[in-house]
Structure formats: C-alpha cells, structure tokens
Structure 1
Amino acid sequence: MSTGSFVSAASVENHGVVCDCGLPSPVRRSWTRRNPDRRFHTCKGRRVENGYIDCGFFRWYNQGDPSGWQFLALLEAREMMEEQRMQIAALTNEVTTLSMNAENDVKSKELGNRCEALKRDVQVLTERCIGLQNVLIASTVGFGAVFGVMMLMWTSNTA
C-alpha cells in the first residue's frame, strides 16, 4: 500500500488474525488508486502515554489484486468524487468572492448615499454663507450710511 493513501476506519471484524503484538488485527479498507476498496489487516496499535504505537503488521485480507469491472467502477467513482470535491471547492470560493463583492457593493452604495447627503449639506451651508455675507455687506453699508448721516448731523450742529 502506498503512503498518503486513504484508509477507512477499522471494522469490528478481525477473522481471528492477530498482529505481531498479539492483538486482534482489524480489517481496514484501502482507497489508493492501485488498491481501491481492497481490504487488509493491520496492527490497530496500543495506547502508550500520549499516543499509539503499532508493530507495523500488514497482510492483505484477500490476496488477489483487484481487477474487473468492479475495480474500474471504483476508480471511476473515486475520480468522480474527487471532481465533485474540486467543483464544490471552486463554487465555495466563488460564493465567498461574490459575497465579499456584494458586501463591498452595499458599502459602496452606503458611501455614495453619505457622499450625496454631504454634498447637499455643503450646498445648503454654502447658500447660508452667501446669505450671511450679503447680510454682513448690507449691515456694513447700512452702518456706513448711518455713521455718515450722524457725522453730517454732528458737523452741521457744530458749525
């Protein structure tokens, strides 16, 4: 069996096979490309302090290599499952991207609305400022006229 292979969980059956440790050897399933769904015995390991240790025992449950239409069907099924996993991952990434874009679009719309509101506020304040400038100019002109009239009156009274 190759390294990095997928092995199913141990079943309860061991068919009387024991490993080199003297423990019952459960039947497991291999899902490698070379040995899909092929069963084998292996050491289940024994618990030691912070983990497990095994003796490395290994023996095929059925000695013949897998062949025939079942072998091909298993390979095809495994390839289809892998394809579907990749499609699911791609779709998940696409959903994440679209969600982030939608969130950014909502934020952009909110910022655009705030910007428009601020533009209206600036326009209103600009108009008020112009109005206050006109009042100030009118007040200054009025003060100047009143001051001029008062000066005329004062100079005519003193003469």
Structure 2
Amino acid sequence: MEHPVYLERQWIVMIWIILPLVTLFSLGTQLLAGVHIDTGLMLIAPLVNLLVLTLLGRMTLSIDATHLRWSFGLFGWPAWNVALADIATAGATTTRWIEGRGIKKTSQGMLYNASGNAAIRITLRNGTSLRLGTQDPQRLLSYLLPRLAPNVVR
C-alpha cells in the first residue's frame, strides 16, 4: 500500500458505549441478586467484548494513488479495496437510520458505515454498487474524483 493521500477514521461510538454497559449491567445485576456466576463467564464476557470492539470498533477509509481502501477494526481487518480504475461513478448520498452501522447488504448494494448518515455511493464498472459512510462526503469526493479516469460520471 502506498502512502494515503486521504485518511479518515470513524469510531462506532455506540458499540463502545453499549456493549460494555450491557455486560456490566448483566453481570452486576446477577451478582447483586446473589446469583452465582461461573468464573469462566466472568472472564469470557469481557474477552468477547474486547474481541468485538477490536474487530468492529472503528472504520478507516483511505485513498492512495491506485486504490480506495476501507477496513474495520483496530488492526485494519476485515478490509476491502477497489482499484480507482474500476470505479464507474462516485457521488454523495445518505443512509437511512434503519440501515444502522456496520457491514450489511442492502437493496442499494453493500453498506459499510460507522457513524452518521452521510455516505458516498460507488458504482463499479461491473455494475456493483456500494456505499461507504463518511463524516464529510464532499471532502472525500474532493480527493477521490480527481484520481479517477476522465470519463467517470461524477
């Protein structure tokens, strides 16, 4: 991977707040109620939280000279990329609140979203469509569009 000319990191704030709180509430209410909790569960629950937060807690978007790349997690996995030469169209769009956050298949193609409802829609030359959530679609497009082939619909 070359040095990126554009880099954006978005935290999935709700997962960082809700997941630990639900775990603490669940374990805490059982302890307060006097229910015996297996020591293994007391150790496994925080480890599962840590695994989920590590794999899905952040989304990173980047553009370099040849590719648009995006990934989830603190270590950049799972990750995807598309060659800039394979992009047929790119433009700003929005997501619906019901589509939520994360990685999902929608009626408009794959959606990769971490926060907010702003996104860019990418259509590839093979007809595949996808949306990438971003905090500032116009800024992202200002880096992406000049790097695309001259005949790309903008």
Structure 1 length-normalised TM? 0.26
The structure with the greater share of residues assigned to helix is 1
The structure with the greater share of residues assigned to strand is 2
Considering only CA atoms, is the larger Rg found in Structure 1 or Structure 2? Answer: 1
